[in-house]
Amino acid sequence: MPQMSRQDPLIEQHTVDYVPLAERHGKARDLFTLWFSTNIAPLPIVTGAMVAQVFHLNLAWGLLAIALGHLLGGIVIALASAQGPRMGIPQMVQSRGQFGRYGALLIVFFAALIYIGFFISNIVLAGKSIVGIVPSVPVPASILIGALSATAIGVIGYRFIHTLNRIGTWVMGSALLAGFIYIFAHDLPADFLTRGGFNAAGWLATVSLGVIWQISFSPYTSDYSRYLPADIGITRPFIATYLGATLGTILSFAFGLVAALATPEGTEAMVAVKQATGWLGPILMVLFLLNIISHNALNLYGAVLSIITSVQTFASHWTPSIKVRVLLSGVVLAGCCVVALGASADFISQFIGLILALLLVLVPWASINLIDFYIIKRGVYDIASIFQADGGVYGRFNLHAIVAYFIGIIVQLPFANTSLYVGPWANLVEGADLSWLVGLVVTCPLYYCLATRQHTQKIRAARLGYTD
């Protein structure tokens, strides 16, 4: 395996181009630390508190639903991550092999929008966290500090992001463990184990939330595995990503649930964390702030790669340089800061609602991506065609994938239960958004049938001598 020399540049030199085999480095365990550390943060903790506060589950039923949801959803993110070493290109560029060169633009656009949305929300959250720790710092300055810090990490790129998360795994993991120990070492409310109960709607809503949470990461997972040696295989990256993503989120959700049950009913989630952890609370708040900034670098990195992918679609002979990535990072930073500085008090909840609604477009994409890679093409793609102006063997548009994609979105709408749109059948199970399940069940077999039919037609035409 190639070793990194001391002369290797600090700032990542590749953008959306193929990573040559000679430049591959790292180990599968790097994926465990990346996804474990990334998910120990305030947002999953706040979401975990909802299991008791909104869905009214008790500790046992809540933990079971949390674990099941993330263990199911983690399969999607792990399968997507394991594609990186084989392909050596970012996830959105790979979509050209499924949708065609221009057909992939739609999902690239949605992915960029989701990344930018999360980046803005997180810099607002980081700004508020800084003010909470150091009240003398003005909110605008706090937002800029959070944004600039995340941008610096994103600009340096792949290796630095992995390094930070290797450190973060030990620091954040230890801090969360200390938080659990503190809570259980002190007196708990009399109703700690009995508050709430079981209700089918709340339980299914929690499971669905876990699945959706994991799927939301899938459009950029191979961005962080594409530098791994090509001979590392599928199994090791899959296991490392799966364990990191699921354990990190399960622990964070569980911590939020435990903190909510350890404090008086109705206590706001992060306030509950502070109250339940005593003197450890302020330390956790500082660590959570650092984790928000580190995690937000992934959102900026993914947004910039998606934008570059969109532009490069129309300029096949252009290989974007590091200067382009740095410049574009600055442009995205400036635009996001303008939006964040003008944000209203309830901006985060409104924006997260928008982003979660956009997840409707990710489920059919993930279905097509996984079916195409693992069942139809079995990991064998023509990398040169992916970068050709006419799409090479994949063409400019793959109508079979595009048709399956839009049908996958349409069939979800009647079951959607988002802040922007509620379908007529959204309350079949009250409070649970099951649209993702419908999307998976319809898109997977539909795309498989269309794609294999296309393959059969090509073989038949070849036998008759009509291939082009």
Residue 373 inside a domain? The answer is no
Residues with Cβ < 8 Å from 161, sequence gap 6 or more?
34, 153, 154, 224, 294, 297, 298, 301
Mean pLDDT of the chain: 85
The CA-based dihedral angle spanning residues 153, 163, 236, 240, taken in that order and rounded to the nearest 10 degrees: -80
Residue 136 placed within a domain: yes
Angle between helices 29-38 and 59-81 (to 10 degrees): 130
Position 444 in a domain: no
In a domain, 342, yes or no: yes
Residue 113 has pLDDT above 70, yes or no: yes
Nearest CA among 269, 448, 248, 255 for reference residue 368: 448
Say what the pLDDT of residue 464 is: 58
Residue 291: predicted pLDDT = 85
What pLDDT score was predicted for residue 1? 38
Per-residue model confidence as pLDDT tens digits over 27-66? 899 999 989 998 888 888 888 998 999 899 999 999 999 9
Residues 6+ apart with CB under 8 A from 243: 32, 36
Q: State mean pLDDT over 144-169.
A: 82
Average pLDDT over residues 395-399: 92
pLDDT in tens, 274-325: 899 999 988 988 888 888 888 888 888 888 888 888 888 888 777 777 777 7
Residue 376 pLDDT class (50, 70, 90 cuts): very high
Q: Which are the contacts of 56, defined by CB distance < 8 A and separation ≥ 6?
A: 196, 197, 199, 202
Please tell me the least confidently modeled range out of 254-263, 356-365, 380-389.
356-365
Cα distance between residue 74 and residue 196, in whole Å:
27
353: part of which helix (H) or strand (E)?
helix 347-358
Residue range 444-457, pLDDT digits in tens: 999 999 998 766 66
Better pLDDT: 266 or 11:
266
Establish if 369 belongs to a structural domain. Answer: no
pLDDT, tens digit (0-9, with 9 covering 90-100), for 165-188: 888 888 889 999 999 999 999 999
Q: Which domain holds residue 205?
A: 21-351
Per-residue pLDDT band for 460 (boundaries 50, 70, 90) equals low
**Tell me, what's the pLDDT at 456?**
63
Residue 247 lies in a domain: yes
CA distance 263 to 273: 9
The predicted pLDDT at position 6 comes to 43
Q: Which residues pair with 422 in a beta bridge?
A: 417
Asked if the structure places residue 29 within a domain, the reply is yes
Give the residue with greater pLDDT, 13 vs 424: 424
**Residue 223 pLDDT exceeds 80:** yes
C-alpha dist (Å) from residue 391 to 96, 166, 309, 364, 461: 8, 38, 14, 22, 21
Rounded-to-10 torsion of CA 183, 33, 162, 79: -130
Number of domains in the chain: 1
The enclosing domain of 215 has a CATH number of 1.10.4160.10
Give which of 179, 36, 17 is closest to 87, Cα–Cα. Answer: 17
Q: Is residue 460 part of a domain?
A: no
Q: How many CB atoms lie within 10 A of CB 9?
A: 10
Sorting pLDDT into bands at 50, 70 and 90, what band is 463?
Answer: low
